[in-house]
Amino acid sequence: MSDLVSVHIVYDTIEAELIRGLLESEGIASFLKSDNAGGTLTFLTPTTGIEIIVSQEDAEKATKLIKHRTP
């Protein structure tokens, strides 16, 4: 099993889901990590952010895709 790494942090749930969808469409498995009590304390998201997590082997490709995405 490969190690998991954080490749990007965003502060908006919708943006995080869009990035996750982008990565999925390119065959990169990812998940979102946030410290907002499972969505019940959403007011924490703007301060703690949402991390985009991928496997170490997909990290470089994921970073490039995120960097070059259309805003």
Q: What does the mean pLDDT of the chain come to? A: 85
The answer, yes or no, to whether residue 1 has pLDDT greater than 60, is no
Residue for token digits 């969505």?
A: 39
Rounded CA separation 51/27 (Å): 19
- Specify the 3-state DSSP secondary structure of 67: helix
Say how many domains are in the chain.
1
The answer, yes or no, to whether residue 70 has pLDDT greater than 80, is no
* Threshold 0.85, pTM exceeds: no
Q: Which helix (H) or strand (E) holds 70?
A: none
- Tens digits of residue pLDDT in 7-33: 999 988 899 999 999 999 999 999 998
Rounded CA separation 36/46 (Å): 10
CATH assignment at residue 21? 3.30.70
Residue for token digits 């998991």?
A: 4
Domain that holds residue 34: 4-67
